[in-house]
Amino acid sequence: METRLLSVFLNIFYCISDVFPLLHVSSGNIIINGTRGARILWRCHHTFSEPFQPEKSSIFWQGFKNSDIVLHFYKNGQEEFYHQHKSFHNRTTIFPDQLPLGNFSLIIEKLTLQDDQITVQVIFMSEGKPTEKLCQTTLYVAARFQEPKIKINQAEDMATCSTKGGYPKPDIKWRSGDGRTVLKPRVPPTVKPEEDGTYSVTSSANITRFNNVTCEVYNPTSKEILRTSYQQPPASNSPVAIVIISILIIIIILAVVMIVVRRWRADLLIPSAQRKEPTDGLLAEREPSYAAPGQNAKVSPRGNQAAYRRSTSVTNDTTTANHD
């Protein structure tokens, strides 16, 4: 059952060639690119001059320059894992039912950075026949970089682009906002290896003449390009706004002060302009009471007292005159 599933899986891989890109460098060497943590299919096909005999055949998937690195081993009709290198334990799969068809392809699971640039080949040995070396291949492994970030130093008109977590060492380019102008880095990029084998990288560029800049991070193995851009905000009008608001506040304050002063002065002037007349008794003296003919005049008690004082004063004056 598992063999059939693997066969179906292999056919799918053959139909979708873009999943695992291949670049033929020469007739004897193939390059395959993979991604850390993913699986990859190492394709290999062989044309037999005679029918395949499993019990008389041995097939090694091993290192090209270092034969001690055995990825997988098939002998006398069955897989044998004793000679398999420990770094590939439980990571490789072949297609036994398709070996008679010349399909020597191998699946490698969970690629690591240690697999990068390993050159492998297939060794086919059949009883009574010379050894054949097939499908020499170099494996390259990439790790994806994080999205780059840009920081701006306005004082120095400098932009700094940084990213990490990728492999191998990337190429970094600076471009103007329209992409037409390539900016020269202020200093060579700083590349720092991390503990997990990946790299962190930092690059800076002068942005004096540009409002928009773009940082590009190119992975030479995966051919992936990551871009991030920075656009300087338009010139701020905040100083002008602050001046206008300040003037308005001053005008409002002056207007309020003027209103208060005017009211205060008005309050000071009102008592002198509208002073009260002398006491009610004096008013009664100045304002005689009039009554219509045939009616008695109504005089207030205070008015009576004032009249009495006047008559007494006149009597005294008359008496004094008589004595004289």
Q: What is the pLDDT of residue 256?
A: 87
Residue 25 scores a pLDDT above 50? no
Those residues with Cβ within 8 angstroms of residue 63's Cβ, 6 or more apart along the chain or in another chain: 69, 70, 71, 118, 119, 120, 121
Domains of the chain: 2-142 (2.60.40.10), 149-231 (2.60.40.10), 273-288+296-311 (no CATH)
Regarding predicted confidence, which is higher, 193 or 301? 193
Q: What is the pLDDT of residue 181?
A: 78
Residue 1 scores a pLDDT above 50? no
As beta bridge partners, residue 10 has none
Residue 238 scores a pLDDT above 60? no
Comparing 20-34, 86-100, 155-169, 243-257, the range with the smallest average pLDDT is 20-34
How many other CB atoms sit within 10 Å of the CB of residue 305? Answer: 14
Comparing 152-161, 210-219, 233-242, 291-300, the range with the smallest average pLDDT is 291-300
For residue 80, the Cα-to-chain-centroid distance in whole angstroms is 51
Q: What is the pLDDT of residue 304?
A: 52
Comparing 157-166, 186-195, 211-220, 265-274, the range with the smallest average pLDDT is 265-274
Q: What is the pLDDT of residue 61?
A: 97
Q: How confident is the model at residue 119 (pLDDT cuts 50, 70, 90)?
A: very high
Q: Structure tokens of 239?
A: 């100083």
Q: What mean pLDDT value characterizes the chain?
A: 79
Integer Cα distance of 110 and 216 in angstroms:
28
Integer Cα distance of 203 and 194 in angstroms:
17
Work out the average pLDDT over 236-261: 81
Global pTM exceeds 0.85: no
Integer Cα distance of 107 and 78 in angstroms:
17
SS3 213: strand
Work out the average pLDDT over 10-36: 55
Comparing 22-36, 169-183, 202-216, 303-317, the range with the smallest average pLDDT is 303-317
Residue 93 parent element (H or E): strand 92-93
Work out the average pLDDT over 212-239: 83
Per the CB < 8 A criterion, the answer to whether 121 and 62 are in contact is yes
pLDDT in tens, 46-78: 999 899 999 999 999 999 888 889 999 999 999
Residue 210 scores a pLDDT above 60? yes
Work out the average pLDDT over 167-181: 86
Burial of 206 (0-12, 13-18, 19+ CB in 10 A): middle
Of 4-13, 29-38, 254-263, highest mean pLDDT: 29-38
Residue 84 scores a pLDDT above 70? yes
